[in-house]
Amino acid sequence: MADVTSSTQRDATQRPEIDRNAIAIALHRRSRRFGLFFWIPMVWLIVVAVACIFAPFWGLPPADEIDWVYIQSPPVEGHPLGTDNLGRDLLSRIVWGGRVSLTVGFAAPFIGVGLGLILGLIAGYYRGWADEVIGILIDAWLAIPGLVILLLFSVVFGGSLFMVCVSLGLLFIPTAARITRAATLNYATREFVLAAKAMGASDIRILRKEVFPNIIWPLIAFVLIDIPIAIVVEGSLSFLGLSVKAPTPSWGGIIAEGREVLSTSPHIAMVPTVVMFLTVLSFNLVGDAIRRRLADVREGAI
């Protein structure tokens, strides 16, 4: 703020009003530009993503192959991060486990926000009893802790990757539906919706063409927030052994196995912990930067 006032005083021209605005906008832009706190985490995410997506091509030993020579060993030739308590290559397990975490991290928010979007549109557009019923369902959903819902689902539907994605996605429905409902309520009474109605557009068309484009931005921001949350929750679930089935590695699972030998070989738990922490932190930082940029786009500041 001090910069802005002093510089306006210095070159006080005929139109100080416009001048001040220009400086303020420039300052604002500089503060919103993608800085190091965007690019460093972005690079880390790209490294992790490439490592996980192309996991079969790195010539790593299979994640469930037991090396009887090196059991629970520190880093050695052939095992850059050492082996776990069953003699399986830790690096390979982390890379393959990352596939599970990233898949869930991306799939679950999209499933949840997609379903929440539909529910929210219905509740916000039609109101009345549909709104009431959806409201009660959402309240009921929120009254159970998320982890408990997941426990139930993992017992009932088993531990396939697909079911983990779906049941995690269900967690994001309530908030997504609430955001959508509030935004829809706002837009459903606007003039352009009324105009479309007057021209005889169907409800589906109004929702798709008039309401949807206006409410999609907060939901995209919400997906960005949800990705790290999904990764964290999947981690908690697999830590309890209730995510994907046992031989398939996942970060939470590796940490849980490493916990048992924490006193003798701490690296088994610590390495996946650090990797997971950095990944989640990076998603948070990148998401935050993009979210702020999105807010600017919506306010027309760029």
Binding interface with another protein (CB under 8 A): 136-137, 139-140, 142-148, 151-156, 158, 228, 232-233, 235-236, 239-240, 242, 252, 255, 259, 262-263, 266, 269-270, 273, 276-277, 280-281, 284-285
Tokens found for residue 157:
């539907």
CB nearer to another protein: pick between 215 and 238:
238
The DSSP annotation for 205-261 comes to: HIIIIIIHHHHHHHHHHHHHHHHHHHHHHHHHHHHTT-SS-TTS--HHHHHHHHHTT
CB nearer to another protein: pick between 183 and 230:
230
CB nearer to another protein: pick between 36 and 143:
143
Phi, psi angle pair for 78, to nearest 5°: 90, -20
3-state secondary structure 40-79: HHHHHHHHHHHHHHCHHHCCCCCCCCECCCCCCCCCECCE
**100 vs 252: CA distance, rounded Å:** 10
* Residue 145 Cβ vs another protein, minimum distance, rounded to whole Å: 3
CB nearer to another protein: pick between 132 and 203:
132
Residue 20 amino acid letter = R
**102 vs 118: CA distance, rounded Å:** 25
Q: Helix and strand tally (H, E) in the chain?
A: 13, 0
* Residue 34 Cβ vs another protein, minimum distance, rounded to whole Å: 17
Per DSSP (E only), the strands in the chain are: none
* Residue 95 Cβ vs another protein, minimum distance, rounded to whole Å: 19
DSSP conformational letter for 57:
G
* Residue 276 Cβ vs another protein, minimum distance, rounded to whole Å: 7
* Residue 201 Cβ vs another protein, minimum distance, rounded to whole Å: 35
CB nearer to another protein: pick between 153 and 187:
153
**119 vs 215: CA distance, rounded Å:** 14
**34 vs 291: CA distance, rounded Å:** 11
Q: Which residues contact 63 (CB under 8 A, 6 or more apart)?
A: 88, 89, 92, 93, 95, 96, 97, 249
* Residue 24 Cβ vs another protein, minimum distance, rounded to whole Å: 15
CB nearer to another protein: pick between 7 and 284:
284
CB nearer to another protein: pick between 214 and 284:
284
* Residue 200 Cβ vs another protein, minimum distance, rounded to whole Å: 38
* Residue 174 Cβ vs another protein, minimum distance, rounded to whole Å: 11
Q: Which residues contact 124 (CB under 8 A, 6 or more apart)?
A: 131, 180, 181, 182, 183, 184, 185, 188
CB nearer to another protein: pick between 214 and 265:
265
**294 vs 88: CA distance, rounded Å:** 44
